[in-house]
Amino acid sequence: MTETHLKTKEKAVLAGLCAASMDARERSGDDTLDELESLLLTAGGEPVGRVLQNRRAPDPRTFIGDGKAKEMKNLIEAEGASLAVFDNELSPSQTRALSDELGVRVIDRSTLILDIFAERASTRVGRLQVELAQYKYLLPRLSGMWGHLTSQTGVSAPIGTRGPGETQLETDRRHIRRRIARLEDEIGGIMRNLATERRRREKNEIPVIALVGYTNAGKSTLFNRLTGAETHAGDRLFDTLDTTTRRASLPGLMGSARSTAALVTDTVGFIRKLPHHLIDAFRATLDELRYADLVLHVVDASNPARLEHARVTDELISELGAGKTPRIEVFNKCDLQGADARPLGENAVSVSAATGEGIGELLRLAGRLLETARRASPDKLQKQEM
């Protein structure tokens, strides 16, 4: 299931809701809509307008409220848009009501992210994980979709869904459940292989350093700088989808003049409101994080929303089981104007992955933390010199 929802340069109007009744993290604002716009651009769409609504609570039917939906419809018609993208997660019935009201296709943030992932996934495990996430997203929405189909064909929903429609729906559900089970099986097999690899690695006692952070923070650029690799780094969101590990020889890592061997892992970037089934589906590759000896949390220090980005990443690091792993906050892009220049905390460094500034200090600090960890559990992380 890798069909993309967006054709090239499909014009879209964005919408977000900030409701007092919503969890603070679910609320939309100009900054989350900016991010949604980047996501849309990444997916190959063209943002032509946006609507931000404030209400006490979401409207059960049209989410942003009837008046705002009318306003949005006018904007869509004036701009010739064929798509509406909502910053918040919509229920199946809201999606349906809105697409009737607006006269265009309606998708939410999760669908957009899944779409980008579907297009980007390049390795086998990456593609399996995306497909699993898409089916998990689809399953609870199936009945709504069927209702929509029957209402389009003029059959009233209750009768239509009780008759042959329900049979069809059950068949689809069974089919999807079977597919989900098969995907989970296959991913499970891949995870077992990864575990074997990991055990081999542990025997070799080479420290593992994982790069983690918000999308576009500069993880891949730093990965390339540390390992001499040429992994693609680009100014798109979710440039990296697959976990890549490379052996690197890091000078001065263990306080020795010689270089020390380490395994450095580049991971998929995080983002606000990352669909939960996507995190679950990506557990196979993100699992690597749990076994890292050191986490480098990369933050784009030039981004005005860096604190929020760091908070989102922090939460996901804990959720993925690496909350207690020694960690360095790496404030990247210090070469840029507007980069945060305040004094940093104890386990924090200011670097530029692009120019190399501060990388020496990062390696020294990394070495110190790995050394402390090695002393705490001497069988692990023996100094390995190359």
Ligand X SMILES: Nc1nc2c(ncn2[C@@H]2O[C@H](COP(=O)(O)OP(=O)(O)OP(=O)(O)O)[C@@H](O)[C@H]2O)c(=O)[nH]1
Nearer to ligand X (CB atom), residue 161 or residue 352: 352
Task: For residue 352, state whether it binds ligand X (rule: CB under 6 A).
Answer: yes
Burial 113-124 (b: 16+ CB within 10 A, else e): bbbbbbbbbeee
Q: Which of residues 238-257 bind ligand X (CB under 6 A)?
A: 238-240
Task: For residue 239, state whether it binds Mg ion (rule: CB under 5 A).
Answer: yes
With CB under 5 A as the contact rule, which of the stretches 110-118, 217-225, 309-317, 377-385 interacts with Mg ion?
Answer: 217-225
3-state class of 320 per DSSP?
coil
Which of Mg ion, ligand X, none is residue 101 near (CB under 5 to 8 Å by kind)?
none
Which of Mg ion, ligand X, none is residue 336 near (CB under 5 to 8 Å by kind)?
ligand X
Pick from 161, 224, 240, 313: which binds Mg ion (CB under 5 A)? Answer: 240
Would you state the structure tokens that stand for residue 184, as one six-digit string? 């989970």
Q: Which of residues 168-227 bind ligand X (CB under 6 A)?
A: 213, 215-221
The footprint of ligand X on this chain (CB under 6 A) covers a number of residues equal to 23
| Cα-trace Rg, the chain | 23
Would you state the structure tokens that stand for residue 203, as one six-digit string? 């025997």
Q: Which of residues 21-50 bind Mg ion (CB under 5 A)?
A: none
In DSSP terms, 18 is beta-bridged to: 54
Task: For residue 108, state whether it binds ligand X (rule: CB under 6 A).
Answer: no
Nearer to ligand X (CB atom), residue 85 or residue 217: 217
Nearest residue (beta carbon) to ligand X: 269
Phi, psi at 155, each rounded to 5°: -85, 135
Q: Which of residues 258-297 bind ligand X (CB under 6 A)?
A: 269
How far is 187 from 285, CA to CA, in rounded Å? 10
Nearer to ligand X (CB atom), residue 28 or residue 42: 42
Which of ligand X, Mg ion, none is residue 110 near (CB under 5 to 8 Å by kind)?
none
Alpha helix (H) residue ranges in the chain? 30-42, 66-79, 92-102, 109-120, 124-138, 142-152, 157-162, 164-204, 219-227, 276-281, 283-286, 306-319, 359-376
With CB under 5 A as the contact rule, which of the stretches 61-69, 70-78, 215-223, 349-357 interacts with Mg ion?
Answer: 215-223
- Other beta carbons within 10 angstroms of residue 72's beta carbon come to 25
How far is 134 from 130, CA to CA, in rounded Å? 6
Pick from 75, 113, 233, 263: which binds ligand X (CB under 6 A)? Answer: 233
Task: For residue 230, state whether it binds ligand X (rule: CB under 6 A).
Answer: no
Q: Is 166 exposed, middle or buried (CB count within 10 Å of its CB: 0-12, 13-18, 19+)?
A: middle
Pick from 189, 228, 234, 251: which binds ligand X (CB under 6 A)? Answer: 234
Contact of 163 with 119, CB cutoff 8 Å:
no
Which of ligand X, Mg ion, none is residue 181 near (CB under 5 to 8 Å by kind)?
none
Nearer to ligand X (CB atom), residue 72 or residue 289: 289
Task: For residue 341, state whether it binds ligand X (rule: CB under 6 A).
Answer: no
